[in-house]
């Protein structure tokens, strides 16, 4: 009788756990989230969208997946025309750091140019669509000269500065030859960093990268011919390649970073699931030591 009670209690616990996990999966589905409780070996997808201005949120996602032992590979999906130099370099460094530990594959969307290509170069493999706009290996400063307009409307700026170059780019006057040379030297230095990092990430000679690093954009097909892209394919192709590189058998389980904003329900469900799973695990460890009716044992 005692054995039968233990068996029934165990069955009820398993049923409750199944219902709870099903509810969590359903909540994740209706909320459009692809995270949640996914068991087994996984491929994580980290998205980089829009102008690259703040690298920190993406770095946090990459760091999280680097520490997750169930995540065997990472795909970085890029939809970006570029952005700031420093955040692009930060992401390049972080992707390279992750790639030294796990397979990292880049999937380019409609555009992955300039800073978008910069960060892609750190991955072990790059996938692009045939019509993806990429490349644009270059650096640019843009200043507006409003001198003639200011004259027409009677507007004048009075500048007090601590040094000759403190008001470089002042829209009320033309740029001097010295200022232009100063800015050109800085641009050239940043451009050299860009070329050097692409060459290092793509394992290409610096001279070969420099040949295409004049700001030109390329289609995915053209980029592949130039060695800037490895394969033509979509996001699924990149995920499959990452799974293969990580030796994941069968259809890879795909996860995305949690959304930054979580509702109270999300938090309570997650904590309840963690606590319940821990309790069931402890109980099942005891249940496996108990013989079931008829002398059968769990396999």
Q: What is the set of active-site residues?
A: 114, 166
Contact criterion met (CB below 8 Å) for 103 and 74: yes
CA 271, 272, 275, 277 dihedral sign is: negative
Dmax of the chain from CA atoms?
100
DSSP assignment, residue 31?
Answer: T
Q: Which segments of the chain does DSSP mark as H helices, in order?
A: 2-30, 56-67, 85-99, 115-120, 147-153, 177-202, 206-212, 220-226, 235-245, 264-287
What is d(CA 116, CA 78) in angstroms, rounded to the nearest whole number? Answer: 7
Among 49, 199, 54, which residue's Cα sits nearest to residue 137?
A: 199
Neighbours of 272 (CB within 10 A): 12
Contacts of 44 (CB under 8 A, 6+ apart): 65, 68, 71, 73, 74, 75, 254, 255, 256, 257
Please tell me the distance from the alpha carbon of residue 280 to that of residue 299, in angstroms, as a whole number: 18
Contact assessment for residue 231 and residue 125, using Cβ atoms and an 8 Å cutoff: yes
Burial class of residue 124, CB neighbours in 10 A (0-12, 13-18, 19+): buried
């Amino acid at each position: 009788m005692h054995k039968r009670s233990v068996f029934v209690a165990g069955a009820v616990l398993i049923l409750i756990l199944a219902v709870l996990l099903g509810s969590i999966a359903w909540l994740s589905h209706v909320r459009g989230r692809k995270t949640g409780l996914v068991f087994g070996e996984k491929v994580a997808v980290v998205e980089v969208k829009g102008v690259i201005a703040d690298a920190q949120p993406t770095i946090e996602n990459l760091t999280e997946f680097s520490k997750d032992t169930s995540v065997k590979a990472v795909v970085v999906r890029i939809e970006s025309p570029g952005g700031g130099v420093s955040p692009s370099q930060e992401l390049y460094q972080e992707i390279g750091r992750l790639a030294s530990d796990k397979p990292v594959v880049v999937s380019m969307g409609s555009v992955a140019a300039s800073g978008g290509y910069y960060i892609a170069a750190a991955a072990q493999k790059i996938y692009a669509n045939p019509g993806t706009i990429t490349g644009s290996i270059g650096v640019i400063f843009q200043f507006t000269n409003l001198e003639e307009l200011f004259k027409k409307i009677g507007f004048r700026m009075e500048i007090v500065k601590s040094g000759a170059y403190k008001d470089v780019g002042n829209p009320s006057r033309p740029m001097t030859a010295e200022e232009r040379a100063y800015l050109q030297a800085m641009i050239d230095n940043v451009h050299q960093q860009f070329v050097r990092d692409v060459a290092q990430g793509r394992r290409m000679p610096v001279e070969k990268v420099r040949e295409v690093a004049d700001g030109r954009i390329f289609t995915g097909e053209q980029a592949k011919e130039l060695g800037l892209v490895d394969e033509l394919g979509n996001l699924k192709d990149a995920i499959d390649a990452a799974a293969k590189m990580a030796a994941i058998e069968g259809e890879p389980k795909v996860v995305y970073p949690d959304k930054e904003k979580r509702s109270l329900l999300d938090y309570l469900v997650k904590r309840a699931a963690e606590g319940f799973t821990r309790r069931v695990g402890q109980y099942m460890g005891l249940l496996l030591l108990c013989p079931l009716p008829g002398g059968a044992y769990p396999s």
